[in-house]
């Protein structure tokens, strides 16, 4: 009888790879994608970098100006979400043609659920088919649950296949720092270290009662299970549905005063209301976010009753939300988010 396995597919340097497909002459060169592609403009950050750029120290989240200093000969390109949407859709369509369940996790990754006696052979077939059909490379992690499959992918990149199961989880992951676990960030890792828990194996053997006291009744025991490599083996193929649409802009020069803020809000609203119209669902809340100097962020929301997709109603709610924010402080970033109503609340 075939066993249940989970495969995690992760496309290699996805955004940079899409750009190289569009511009083959960039193959092998350091490529940096972010903002409008101009690294001399302030307050723009790197969305992704090719492996060649990463070798020079350029990574996601690095300010574009710093990326320019680290890689002065790199090619800098503007972020093109529409192109990445299209490329991602092609990959996911290829995966759905295989005898697997597909759970999309984002532009560049997905879980595959399958019953098979040879998951490694299937993983190599996934890599081959994706590359042949889309010309994009991927790594595939194989596991007996989602956590182990996701973790295995880290050992498979770039462009390989790796496996982690219950039998080899602690031998492989045990000596590694807790930060190596999917779901454990720097803050949680620091809190664990303060309790004397530095490695995955120490976390796996930790007292779940003590961690429940430190992190809460749900998070504490969950962290212990994470250390043991425990998670669900279920892959949910239900299509992902966005709960909201949003747009935000970081400005080269701070916005100052009600007039500038209102003008910027109207520009963002134009795109958000177009997105809402394309989606076809009603909005239950409009939220406006402002980031002030040095890095203080505030947001205010206004509910829409009943939920609606009417552009004027959305604009009125956003304007009211903006009026509830401070108007006399310089604003470096402004954002607008339209939160969709559950289907049961949508107007007939």
Residue-range definition of the domain harbouring residue 123: 3-14+82-167
Model pLDDT, residue 328: 86
3-state secondary structure of 189: helix
The reply to whether 235 falls in a domain is: no
Q: pLDDT (tens digit, 9 = 90+) per residue, 42-73? A: 888 899 999 999 999 999 989 999 999 999 99
Which pLDDT belongs to residue 270?
A: 93
Choose the final residue of a domain: 167, 186, 208: 167
According to the model, what pLDDT value does residue 22 have? 93
Query: 7: burial class by Cβ within 10 Å (0-12, 13-18, 19+)?
Result: buried
Q: Are residues 34 and 90 in the same domain?
A: no
Q: Which among 80, 105, 131 is the end of a domain? A: 80
Known active-site residue 125: no
What are the Cα distances from residue 97, in Å, to 101, 102, 108, 165?
Answer: 10, 10, 17, 26
pLDDT below 70 — which residues of the chain? Answer: 1-2, 343-348
For residues 269 and 341, state if they share a domain: yes
Instruction: Looking at the structure, tell me whether residues 154 and 93 fall in a common domain.
Output: yes
Does 248 lie in the same domain as 319?
Answer: yes
Hey, is 325 helix, strand or coil?
coil
Q: Active site residue: 19, 52, 109, 201, which one?
A: 109
Report the C-alpha dihedral over residues 51, 54, 56, 62, rounded to 10 degrees. Answer: 150
Picking from 80, 107, 125, the residue at the C-terminal end of a domain is 80
Spatial CA neighbour of 113 closest among 125, 96, 130, 129: 96
Q: Are residues 254 and 331 in the same domain?
A: yes
CATH of the domain at 132: 3.30.70.270
* Domain match, 208 and 126 both: no
**pLDDT score of 346:** 45
d(CA 60, CA 174): 28
Q: In terms of domains, do 315 and 284 share one? A: yes
One domain, residues 10 and 107: yes
**162 and 94, same domain (yes or no):** yes
Return the CATH number at 54.
3.40.1170.60
Task: Please check whether residue 11 is in contact with residue 17, taking contact to mean a CB–CB distance below 8 angstroms.
Answer: yes
User: What is the total count of domains within the chain?
Assistant: 4
248 lies in the same domain as 200: no
| pLDDT the model gives residue 348 | 37
337 shares a domain with 253: yes
């Amino acid at each position: 009888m075939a066993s249940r396995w989970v495969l995690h597919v992760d496309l290699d340097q996805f955004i940079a790879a899409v750009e190289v497909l569009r511009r083959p002459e960039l193959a092998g060169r350091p490529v940096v994608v972010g903002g409008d592609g101009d690294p001399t403009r302030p307050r723009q950050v790197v969305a992704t970098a090719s492996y060649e750029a990463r070798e020079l120290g350029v990574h996601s989240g690095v300010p574009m100006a710093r990326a320019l200093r680290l890689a002065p000969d790199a090619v800098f390109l503007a972020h093109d979400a529409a192109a990445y949407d299209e490329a991602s859709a092609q990959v996911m369509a290829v995966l759905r043609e295989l005898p697997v369940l597909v759970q999309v996790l984002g532009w560049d990754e997905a879980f595959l659920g399958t019953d098979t006696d040879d998951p490694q052979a299937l993983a190599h077939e996934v890599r081959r088919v994706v590359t042949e059909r889309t010309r994009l490379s991927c790594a595939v992690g194989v596991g007996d649950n989602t956590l182990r499959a996701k973790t295995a992918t880290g050992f498979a990149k770039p462009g390989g296949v790796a496996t982690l199961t219950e039998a080899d989880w602690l031998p492989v992951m045990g000596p590694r720092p807790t930060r190596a676990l999917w779901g454990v960030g720097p803050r949680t890792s620091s809190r664990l270290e303060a309790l004397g828990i530095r490695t995955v194996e120490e976390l796996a053997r930790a007292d779940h009662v003590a961690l429940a006291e430190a992190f809460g009744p749900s998070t504490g025991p969950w962290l212990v299970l994470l250390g043991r490599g425990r998670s669900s083996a279920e892959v949910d193929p239900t299509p992902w549905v966005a709960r909201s649409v949003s747009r935000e802009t970081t400005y080269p020069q701070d916005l100052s005063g009600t007039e500038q803020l209102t003008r910027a809000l109207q520009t963002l609203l134009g795109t958000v209301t177009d997105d809402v119209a394309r989606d076809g669902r009603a909005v239950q809340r409009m939220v406006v976010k402002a980031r002030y100097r040095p890095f203080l962020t505030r947001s205010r929301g206004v509910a829409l009753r009943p939920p609606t997709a009417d552009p004027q109603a959305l604009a009125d709610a956003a304007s009211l939300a903006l009026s509830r924010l401070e108007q006399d402080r310089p604003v470096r970033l402004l954002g607008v988010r339209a939160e969709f109503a559950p289907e049961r609340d949508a107007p007939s």
